[in-house]
Amino acid sequence: MYLSCEDKKEEDTTPPTVSITSPQDSSTVSDSITITCISSDDEGVEKVELWINGVFTGLIDETEPYSFEWNTTTIEDGSYTILVRSYDTNGNTTDSYPIILLVDNSDSYPSPVNITSIEFENFGFNVKWNKSSDNDFSSYKLYESISENMDEQNLIYETNELSDTTFYVSGIDINQIRYYQIEVENEFGLQSKGEVSFGSSKISFSKIIENGIGVYVQETNDGGYIITGNRGEDILLIKTDYSGNTIWEKVYEEPYNEYGYQVEQTEDSGYIILGYGSSDNTLLIKTDEFGNQQWDKNYYGIGYFLYQTTDGEFMISGRTLNGVDGVFIKTDSNGNEIWNITFIQSPLNSFQQTTDGGYILVGSKSGESLLTKTDYNGIKEWEKIFEEGLTSTFVLQTTDGGYIFDYQVSGQQNVYLIRTDNQGNELWNKYIVDGWIRSLRRTSEGGYILLTSGIEPDPRLIKISQDGELEWNRYLGYQNTWEHGNEVQQTTDDGYIIVGTSEVSWIENNIFLMKTNSEGIID
């Protein structure tokens, strides 16, 4: 009998050895770092893995020298436990001695980039910012919001070009505020945001238009302004942009010497001009949106105030040629007279349509201030005489249905205001300021803005509350010239547009046009 056997191979149960060689325990790290280790086994090492805080990172190395690239910018700053797990070719494993690393990327974030300017140009904001000084720059992102704290912000521009530091935001209307912020990102994906800056299309300016007398101004639908007045003895019409720059001018020379008193933009974006001709008649001129004359009409009397009704018709108040009686005229949209009412011994100045569809008018009667109310057809409903006044020039309906109007006292250069209820009964009577009143308008918050001239060489812009209390008083004008302010209106951005005349010499006049902020200041 013959017996034989083979030698049995001993099973490998010895795990590999492994240790981290870099970085050192308790090190502070940032950005992307390299973790290195050494591992050996008598049968051979299959692979090593990187584990952080007991969780496998997915990072594996199967060839010597063993190392891992760990991007710390994707995690929060703080303390992390690092170990390497090694596998031999027989499936034995062992873990390295763990080390603690402190991740601190506070110095790794890119330097913030701030906006340097936001300029309103051609109905848009031109946004400029500083160039990043970081060597690891990756991109700029420009965010826009309508709120100062950047709520509901929108990304409106992104670029990877380091020198690309300007962006034009189109489609910005007048009276807009937008907030902007730049975010810069580096190659590691870290972002920093700069300070919030705002752009405003609320404009203020002071302009001189040579050779003319500025009588009236109104903001137009496109955010610009339309001005009427005179150049020599001819009616002048000037269109400007939102910054007061002249777009076009028109002079209406024929057939008479004429004077422009008022202009209103019409429903078709054209203009209607109220003037006075040498034929001793009130004159209406209708133009297209470029000032090209479409028609003109003459009416008996001297018209001082023009109003465009909601249905496109026109109303004119004034006085007869002898100055004794008042005239109140209504025309259709083509200037054809509908009615012409005479107010006996009551020359009229201005009026306003009231909430009931009628009209409230002011003027004088027998040398005293007159307040009179009519219905929609101009038929008188009641009148009130205020004996302390010589005449009244402007009237407004108040928010509670009453009225406020000015008056002047004979022999004085003072402005007074009277406040009445809806039947013309006096509620209060107040002295406001020295001078002559040139314009009275209600403001958006319920108060009033006045423009005066006469005592000083510069006109004054005066803001009062709805109770007639003075809020502020501003002088307007230019050095070494005498200015006459003629009209003020509140603009859509709650500022004020003022037009008047600057006397260069006794034979030379210029138009001044000023746009202020809501406090009457030119920024």
Domain span holding position 193? 115-200
Q: How many angstroms separate the Cα of 92 from the Cα of each of 88, 244, 503?
A: 5, 85, 102
Confidence of residue 480 (pLDDT cuts 50, 70, 90): low
CATH number of the domain enclosing 124: 2.60.40.10
Q: Is residue 95 part of a domain?
A: yes
Tell whether 120 and 184 lie within a shared domain. Answer: yes
Kindly state whether residues 77 and 34 are assigned to the same domain.
Answer: yes
Q: What is the 3-state secondary structure (H, E, C) of 187-207?
A: CCCCEEECCCEEEECCCCEEE
Q: Classify residue 127: in a domain, yes or no.
A: yes
How wide is the angle at C-alpha 128 spanned by C-alphas 123 and 132, nearest 5°?
Answer: 160
Same domain? 53 vs 126: no
Is residue 91 situated within a structural domain? yes
Per-residue pLDDT, 281: 85
Q: 242-251, 276-285, 323-332, 342-351 — which is least confidently predicted? A: 276-285
Question: What total of structural domains would you count in the chain?
Answer: 2
72 phi and psi angles, rounded to 5 deg: -80, -10
Among 131, 102, 140, 124, smallest CA distance to 26 is for 102
Query: Strand (E) positions, 41-77?
Result: 45-52, 55-61, 66-71
Partners of 170 in beta bridges:
124
pLDDT digits (tens, 9 = 90+) for 2-48: 445 455 567 888 999 999 999 999 999 988 899 999 999 999 999 99
CB atoms within 10 A of CB 507: 6
Residue 492 DSSP code: T
For residues 73 and 122, membership in a common domain is answered with: no
> Length of the chain in residues, anyone?
523
CA diameter of the chain? 160
Q: What is the predicted pLDDT for the residue at 279?
A: 64
β-pair partners for 440: 450
Residues 54 and 132 in one domain: no
Considering 71, 103, 135, which residue would you say is the last residue of a domain? 103
**Same domain for 132 and 155?**
yes
- For residues 222-231, average pLDDT: 94
d(CA 228, CA 245): 15
Q: What is the mean pLDDT of residues 336-361?
A: 95
Q: Judge whether 214 lies within some domain.
A: no
The answer to whether position 488 is within a domain reads no
Output the pLDDT for position 8.
57
CA 474 to chain CA mean position, Å: 22
145, 169, 200 — which closes off a domain? 200
- Express each pLDDT in 240-268 by its tens digit: 998 899 999 999 986 656 789 999 999 99
Exposed/middle/buried for residue 440 (C-beta within 10 Å: 0-12, 13-18, 19+)? buried
Question: Is there a contact between 264 and 238 (Cβ–Cβ < 8 Å)?
Answer: no
pLDDT tier at 393 (50, 70, 90 boundaries)?
very high
For CA atoms 227, 228, 229, 231, the dihedral sign is: positive
Residue 330 located in a structural domain: no
Range in 238-242, 285-289, 456-460 with the lowest mean pLDDT: 456-460
Distance CA 520, CA 497 (A): 9
Looking at the fold, whether 58 and 37 belong to one and the same domain comes out as yes
Instruction: Sort 516 into a burial class: Cβ within 10 Å, 0-12 / 13-18 / 19+.
Output: buried
Say what the pLDDT of residue 278 is: 65
Last residue of a domain, one of 103, 125, 157: 103
DSSP states along 91-152: S-EEEPPPEEEEE--TTTSPPP--EEEEEE-SSEEEEEEPPP--TTEEEEEEEEESSTT-TT
In a domain, 255, yes or no: no
Residues 95 and 121 in one domain: no
Backbone angles phi and psi of 87, in degrees to 5 = -120, 130
Is the domain of 85 the same as that of 132? no
In a domain, 311, yes or no: no
Element at 488 (helix H, strand E):
strand 482-490
